[in-house]
Chains A and B, each alone.
Chain A
Amino acid sequence: MKIKDYFQKTLSKKYASLMVLTIIFFLVGAISLWLSLHYFKEGYSDQIDLLERKKDLAQEINNSFNNAFSEARGYFAYGNVTLKEHALATDEHVSSLFVQFKEIISTSEDKRFIKEAEQFQDYYFGNALPSAISFYEDGHPEEVAKLANSTTTANITNFQRNSANYISDLGKKLEASFERLIKHQTYVQVGFIGFILIILLTLLRITRILLNQQDELKSKSIQNEELYKKSEAERSLNQDILNTIQEGILLINNEGVIVQVNKQLIDMFQWSNKIGTIIGLDLNNWTSVMAAQVEDPESFQSFLRKATEKKESDSIFIYKKLNPNQVIKVYCTGLYHVDDKVGTILVHRDITKEFEVDMMKSEFVSTVSHELRTPLASILGFTELLLNRELKPDRQQKYFTTIYNEAKRLTALINDFLDIQRMEAGKQSYEKKFINLKLILDKVVESQSIHTNEHQISIIDESNKAHILGDRDKIEQVFTNLINNSIKYSPNGGDIEIKLYHYEDRVFVDIKDQGLGIPEGSMQKLFSRFYRIDNSDRRRIGGTGLGLAIVQEIMKAHNGEVFVQSQYGSGSIFTCSFPHIPGQLEELAPVTESRALGFKVMVVEDDQSLGQLITEELKEDDFQVSYFKRGKDALAVIREELPDAIVLDILLEEDELDGWSIMEEIKKQEILKNIPIFISSALDEKEKGFSLGATDYLIKPYKPSQLSKAIMQTLLKTGKVGQVYIPQDELGEE
């Protein structure tokens, strides 16, 4: 992350400058240490040199005097003249030493020493020695000895003692100087170590501060990173939300520049660019790009301009987009932050479907009104002629017949129209029962044959019992419409062949005619409302135009299908298919009156009063009945009881098992699975019941005698236990 790098960079910069500062401090310390050491050394060595020189000179003065003394004594003892001259020459030498010494005098002790030495020189060389020499040369050695024994010796001794003291003082001073020098050096060194320590401590402290700072920065940068991630996540969530919305959304600022756009809008206008490059386009730019794909670009663009300029109300505009053709409604509204307008949101919604539905609706209404007006026009027109004209009886007859037929047509139209409305709205209720398609077809063919003498209608039944679950009246309507169409659309007569057969798990009915056939272009629209084929012979074939639409709706409601094959000019085949009901359907012979020969029936029914009613009814027919309120209790004893039949309720209140699970349990067990089960339920779930292996399914409320009859029928057919039973009165013979 960039932010982190930045912080790390500045931190290392700080650290580097700190190191430079430390090195500078260290160098300054080291240099000043060196300088002070040097300075101390210089100071002390001057002092020591001076002291040493003083000490040397004093020693030499002392030695010179001592030499003079011993030479004088040697002269007095041996009379050696050289010695005398040497002794006397010492005076000069001592004087020169005195001059040298005086140059380096610095203390009062030095002054006293030199003063005493000069006094002694005066005394010795000016007085004592010459006197002694003259006594000696005059031949008075006793006088020399006397002289030596008197004050002279005392003076010499005194001087010698004094100078020795002085010299030893100097030595002591020297030693003290040396000691001081060492002491000072030690101080400086200790100071330096202290300085280094302080620098190190400071460095340590600052490093610690820096490290803390770094930690802080690090945690801050982590925080920043988290913040960044969070805001990034929010941003992409917002974009995802925008992209998930079905409408195309465009947000522009007050200057008309695109601020935000979603994927749908980009797709809508086939912008190949990515979102990032579209954001930032100015008003002219994007409006002209969009307008180029719109049917009426001028008004589209001027709407967009106005919408973005306008301060107050929202506005809506509907435009047609080209390639692909879409009808789009754009909705503009200001985007406000608190009270300030910050931009405009444009929502583009594809209303093509709604628009088409609207168009279809108004088309439908105008078609219906046209279809209703046509028979009305005939009825009104002929009635007016009948009322206002003297007409011959045959013309009157013709007009009345026409009026009657047109009124019937109007009724049929209204009925069909209401039917299709109800079916399409899903409000048509179907009373589905087991019905035999063959019987229905027979009935429809019989009634349709009355209308034609030119058509041969035949039924070929290749099915093995074409039973389906369906609403008899509605299925009749399907085949009436289809066969009626076959008759109408083969105006020159011909064969109409109806074929009934099974294929895989479905039952099929083909209705084949030798009529006009259907042009290729009309096949798609054939089942639409009010669609009529534009026939080559231009004859208007009567009808409501809703027949096939109704057929399709009814077939849909029966999980069926209807489709058409046709050769234009040589006929059509309409095919209906229905789901085949599982299990072999068997029509049963009417039940002969008989008594149950002590068959055992187990009844599971949670409604106690209904349970009693069933029990009593069955007992009256000589069944042995064991009644259970709870399914669990029934299952507990069923293996011992081994009933001949079971009557089972599906919805069992306050029971953990329902009828379905009890049934599954029974069908799982080898010794129980062949016991016929009669479902007695308020639920109409016959298909489910039969697929789970029910023998019969009675929907409450039913007459208890019906149940008794059904059980009897099944049990009397020994060896056929477990097969599906169809109640006699539902087979369509009535």
Chain B
Amino acid sequence: MKRILLAEDEEIIRMLIVDTLEDEDYHVDEAADGEEALQLFERNEYDLLILDYMMPGYTGMEVIKKVRAGLVNSEVKILMLSAKSQKHEQEMILSVGANEFMQKPFSPLQLIEKVKAILDED
């Protein structure tokens, strides 16, 4: 079973993503902000990080930078969720080290496809 770490400050969105992915037999750990996510990341080994862009404390971008610059599992796949809609913003997110980007509001079904594609499960 693949392990996914989700960092999202909105409780309802967190619930939506967790429900969606758990139905697809993924194990999902939840974090309400960047700092909590980084703590979980250090303790556990994950196959995928799903990060919200706008979070109090460390933003999704800062979490990516810290993960990519870290010693442990720095090559982990990362999917960024954001309300950012402009192309240059999306490019910037990818340039910092995200593998995929998904715009809010998102379709849960598309999220599943994206997650599968990232994890090479097709």
Inter-chain contacts of B104 with A (CB < 8 A): 373-374, 377
B106 shortest CB reach to chain A, Å: 6
A427 within 8 A of B: no
With contact pairs A540-B11, A540-B32 given, residues A380 and B105 touching in the complex (Cβ less than 8 Å): yes
A536 shortest CB reach to chain B, Å: 11
Whether the pair A381, B105 counts as a contact (CB closer than 8 A) is yes
B108 within 8 A of A: yes
Q: Which of A386-421 contact B (CB under 8 A)?
A: 388-389, 395, 402, 406
Q: How far is the CA of A380 from the CA of B13 in the complex (A)?
A: 11
Whether the pair B57, A538 counts as a contact (CB closer than 8 A) is yes
B44 within 8 A of A: no
- B106 is contacted by which of A369, A377, A382, A385 (Cβ under 8 Å)? A377
Whether the pair B57, A384 counts as a contact (CB closer than 8 A) is no
- A534 is contacted by which of B19, B23, B56, B108 (Cβ under 8 Å)? B56
Q: How far is the CA of A384 from the CA of B36 in the complex (A)?
A: 29
A172 within 8 A of B: no
- Chain A 63-86, CB-CB to B under 8 Å as 1, else 0, gives 000000000000000000000000
With contact pairs A532-B56, A539-B32 given, residues A376 and B105 touching in the complex (Cβ less than 8 Å): yes
A370 within 8 A of B: yes
A378 within 8 A of B: yes
Inter-chain contacts of A376 with B (CB < 8 A): 105
Q: How far is the CA of A389 from the CA of B107 in the complex (A)?
A: 13
Inter-chain contacts of B32 with A (CB < 8 A): 538-540
A250 shortest CB reach to chain B, Å: 36
B62 within 8 A of A: no
Q: How far is the CA of A734 from the CA of B43 in the complex (A)?
A: 62
- B83 is contacted by which of A373, A388, A406 (Cβ under 8 Å)? A373
Q: Which of B1-53 contact A (CB under 8 A)?
A: 9-13, 15-16, 19-20, 23, 32-33, 35-36
Whether the pair A540, B108 counts as a contact (CB closer than 8 A) is no
With contact pairs A370-B83, A538-B36, A538-B56 given, residues A381 and B106 touching in the complex (Cβ less than 8 Å): yes
Inter-chain contacts of A385 with B (CB < 8 A): 16, 19-20, 108
A413 shortest CB reach to chain B, Å: 13
Whether the pair B107, A381 counts as a contact (CB closer than 8 A) is yes
Q: How far is the CA of A378 from the CA of B105 in the complex (A)?
A: 8
Whether the pair A389, B105 counts as a contact (CB closer than 8 A) is no
Inter-chain contacts of B85 with A (CB < 8 A): 369
In the complex formed, the residue of B with least CB distance to A380 is B105
A452 shortest CB reach to chain B, Å: 18
B110 shortest CB reach to chain A, Å: 9
In the complex formed, the residue of A with least CB distance to B89 is A366
Q: Which of A620-657 contact B (CB under 8 A)?
A: none
Interface size on A, residues (CB 8 A): 25
With contact pairs A406-B12, A534-B56, A539-B32 given, residues A373 and B105 touching in the complex (Cβ less than 8 Å): yes
Which of B57, B85, B109 neighbours the largest number of chain A CB atoms within 10 Å of its CB?
Answer: B109
Inter-chain contacts of B54 with A (CB < 8 A): 370
Whether the pair A382, B16 counts as a contact (CB closer than 8 A) is yes
Inter-chain contacts of A532 with B (CB < 8 A): 56
Q: How far is the CA of A377 from the CA of B53 in the complex (A)?
A: 14
Inter-chain contacts of A379 with B (CB < 8 A): 105
Interface size on B, residues (CB 8 A): 25
Inter-chain contacts of A534 with B (CB < 8 A): 56-57
Q: How far is the CA of A402 from the CA of B11 in the complex (A)?
A: 11
- Chain B 107-118, CB-CB to A under 8 Å as 1, else 0, gives 111000000000
Q: How far is the CA of A539 from the CA of B57 in the complex (A)?
A: 12
Whether the pair B15, A402 counts as a contact (CB closer than 8 A) is yes
Q: How far is the CA of A667 from the CA of B118 in the complex (A)?
A: 86
In the complex formed, the residue of A with least CB distance to B9 is A540
With contact pairs A370-B54, A538-B32, A540-B32 given, residues A384 and B107 touching in the complex (Cβ less than 8 Å): yes
Q: How far is the CA of A385 from the CA of B54 in the complex (A)?
A: 24
Inter-chain contacts of A377 with B (CB < 8 A): 13, 16, 104-106
In the complex formed, the residue of B with least CB distance to A534 is B56
Inter-chain contacts of A375 with B (CB < 8 A): 12
B7 shortest CB reach to chain A, Å: 11
Inter-chain contacts of A373 with B (CB < 8 A): 83, 104-105
In the complex formed, the residue of B with least CB distance to A381 is B16
- Chain A 542-563, CB-CB to B under 8 Å as 1, else 0, gives 0000000000000000000000
Inter-chain contacts of A370 with B (CB < 8 A): 54, 83
A369 shortest CB reach to chain B, Å: 6
A528 shortest CB reach to chain B, Å: 16
Whether the pair B9, A384 counts as a contact (CB closer than 8 A) is no
Q: How far is the CA of A373 from the CA of B81 in the complex (A)?
A: 12
Inter-chain contacts of A538 with B (CB < 8 A): 32-33, 35-36, 56-57
Inter-chain contacts of B33 with A (CB < 8 A): 538
- Chain A 180-220, CB-CB to B under 8 Å as 1, else 0, gives 00000000000000000000000000000000000000000
Q: How far is the CA of A378 from the CA of B108 in the complex (A)?
A: 10
A541 shortest CB reach to chain B, Å: 10
Inter-chain contacts of A388 with B (CB < 8 A): 109
Inter-chain contacts of A384 with B (CB < 8 A): 107-109
Q: How far is the CA of A406 from the CA of B10 in the complex (A)?
A: 12
Whether the pair A374, B10 counts as a contact (CB closer than 8 A) is yes
Q: How far is the CA of A385 from the CA of B106 in the complex (A)?
A: 12
Q: How far is the CA of A374 from the CA of B35 in the complex (A)?
A: 21
Q: How far is the CA of A367 from the CA of B36 in the complex (A)?
A: 24
In the complex formed, the residue of B with least CB distance to A385 is B108
Inter-chain contacts of B9 with A (CB < 8 A): 540
Inter-chain contacts of B56 with A (CB < 8 A): 532, 534-535, 538, 540
Q: Which of A329-380 contact B (CB under 8 A)?
A: 369-370, 373-380
Whether the pair B19, A402 counts as a contact (CB closer than 8 A) is no
Q: How far is the CA of A215 from the CA of B28 in the complex (A)?
A: 107
Q: How far is the CA of A377 from the CA of B35 in the complex (A)?
A: 24
Q: Which of A503-557 contact B (CB under 8 A)?
A: 532, 534-535, 538-540
Inter-chain contacts of B105 with A (CB < 8 A): 373, 376-377, 379-381
Q: How far is the CA of A208 from the CA of B80 in the complex (A)?
A: 104
Q: How far is the CA of A375 from the CA of B12 in the complex (A)?
A: 8
Which of B12, B56, B83, B106 neighbours the largest number of chain A CB atoms within 10 Å of its CB?
Answer: B12
In the complex formed, the residue of B with least CB distance to A376 is B105
Q: How far is the CA of A532 from the CA of B35 in the complex (A)?
A: 18
Q: How far is the CA of A607 from the CA of B54 in the complex (A)?
A: 64
Q: How far is the CA of A538 from the CA of B23 in the complex (A)?
A: 27
- B12 is contacted by which of A378, A395, A539 (Cβ under 8 Å)? A378
Whether the pair A378, B16 counts as a contact (CB closer than 8 A) is yes
Interface pairs A-B: 10 shortest CB-CB: A377-B105, A373-B83, A381-B16, A378-B12, A370-B83, A380-B105, A377-B104, A376-B105, A534-B56, A373-B104
Listed by A's residue number, 23 A-B pairs whose Cβ atoms lie within 8 Å are A370-B54, A374-B12, A374-B13, A377-B104, A377-B105, A377-B106, A378-B10, A379-B105, A380-B105, A381-B13, A381-B106, A381-B107, A381-B108, A385-B16, A385-B19, A385-B108, A388-B109, A389-B23, A406-B12, A538-B33, A538-B36, A540-B9, A540-B11
> Which A residues form the contact surface with B (CB < 8 A)?
369-370, 373-382, 384-385, 388-389, 395, 402, 406, 532, 534-535, 538-540
Given A378-B13, A385-B19, 10 extra CB contacts under 8 A? A373-B105, A378-B12, A382-B16, A384-B107, A384-B108, A388-B109, A395-B19, A402-B12, A538-B35, A540-B10
